[in-house]
């Protein structure tokens, strides 16, 4: 596909369930980012991958959040034992960026997670 | 702690007039600034950016101004069109940090009326 895709687009989970959110970046994009956007807020950085290496996970709110990108392409954000405060839109973005240069980030449509 | 602030949650402008969206930041390490546009149920779409070595960047109807001493940037849309109605996010990055993660404001909802 031409852009970043995310699945599922909507996810409803009962509190305590585990969820897995998928991101397919633009082919050839080295960098991949996850952001969390709560209602009425701007996106907040969660974690960053360069190829398969997770170089920054400082934004992950707790150890219940885990992200991986094992082959340097598709990425999965996993949330264990979901809580109501995890309800948000989870955005994935990719870019060509390598260290020393800046390229814009292209965002997917997001996954809206609702925890009941 | 919000490092990028958009103090106007909403703005209404008549078609054909200028729209001015404002953004302030607190982190002096930010050296790259972007504006994203977002429609409902879609991800943010890149609009325009500016490096801290410049004070103005123009792309068609969109111009971004940067005032580093005031830690302030603004987006001008001239002339405004109804299709410009969306939420606009200001974002900033410290490119000395690996990855260039973006720090976003809360957004300004722009409504352009016919």
Is the Cβ of B39 closer than 8 Å to some Cβ of chain A? no
The CATH classification number of B4-97+105-113 equals 2.60.40.10
CA distances A98 to A30, A34, B46, Å, are 7, 17, 19
What pLDDT shows up at residue B96?
80
**Higher-confidence position of B2 and B81:** B81
Taken in order of first residue, the domains within chain A and their CATH numbers are: 5-99 (2.60.40.10)
CB-based contact A41 B4, cutoff 8 Å: no
Give the nearest partner residue to A108 out of B36, B43, B101, using CB atoms: B43
**Range B25-40 average pLDDT:** 94
Query: In what side-by-side order are the strands of the sheet with A65-68?
Result: A5-7, A19-24, A75-79, A65-68
What pLDDT shows up at residue B64?
98
Between residues 21 and 50 of chain A, which touch chain B (CB distance below 8 Å)?
Answer: 31, 33, 35, 40-45, 48, 50
Q: Give the gap in angstroms from C-alpha B98 to the nearest C-alpha of chain A.
A: 7
A98 pLDDT above the threshold of 80:
no
* A26, A3 Cβ separation under 8 angstroms: yes
CA angle B107, A68, A30 (to 5 degrees): 70
A99 pLDDT above the threshold of 60:
no
Residue A108: closest C-alpha in chain B: B43
B63 pLDDT above the threshold of 70:
yes
Mean pLDDT of chain B: 94
Domain regions of chain B by residue span? 4-97+105-113
pLDDT in tens, A2-56: 799 999 999 999 999 999 999 999 999 999 999 999 999 999 999 999 999 999 9
Lowest-confidence region among A63-77, B34-48, B86-100: B86-100
What pLDDT shows up at residue B89?
97
Q: A101 pLDDT band (50/70/90 cuts)?
A: low
Using CA atoms, how far apart are residues A74 and A49, in angstroms rounded to an integer? 11
What pLDDT shows up at residue B100?
76
């Amino acid at each position: 596909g031409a852009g970043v895709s995310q699945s599922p687009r909507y996810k409803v989970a009962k509190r305590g369930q585990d969820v897995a959110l998928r991101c397919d970046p633009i082919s050839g994009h080295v960098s991949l980012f996850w952001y969390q956007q709560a209602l009425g807020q701007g996106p907040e950085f969660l974690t960053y991958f360069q190829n398969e290496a997770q170089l920054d996970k400082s934004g992950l709110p707790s150890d219940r959040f885990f992200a991986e990108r094992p082959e340097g392409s598709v990425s999965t954000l996993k949330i264990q034992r979901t809580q109501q405060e995890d309800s948000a839109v989870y955005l994935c973005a990719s870019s060509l960026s390598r260290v020393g240069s800046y390229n814009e980030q292209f965002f997917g449509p997001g996954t809206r997670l609702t925890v009941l | 702690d919000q490092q990028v602030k958009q103090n106007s949650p909403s703005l209404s402008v008549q078609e054909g007039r200028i729209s001015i969206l404002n953004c302030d930041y607190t982190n002096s390490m930010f050296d790259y600034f972007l504006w994203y546009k977002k429609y409902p149920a879609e991800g943010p779409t890149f609009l325009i950016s500016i490096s801290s070595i410049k004070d103005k960047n123009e792309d068609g109807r969109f111009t971004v101004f940067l005032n580093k001493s005031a830690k302030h940037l603004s987006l001008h849309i001239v002339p405004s069109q109804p299709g410009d109605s969306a939420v606009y996010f200001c974002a900033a990055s410290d490119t000395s940090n690996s990855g260039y993660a973006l720090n976003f404001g809360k957004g300004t909802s722009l409504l352009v009326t016919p």
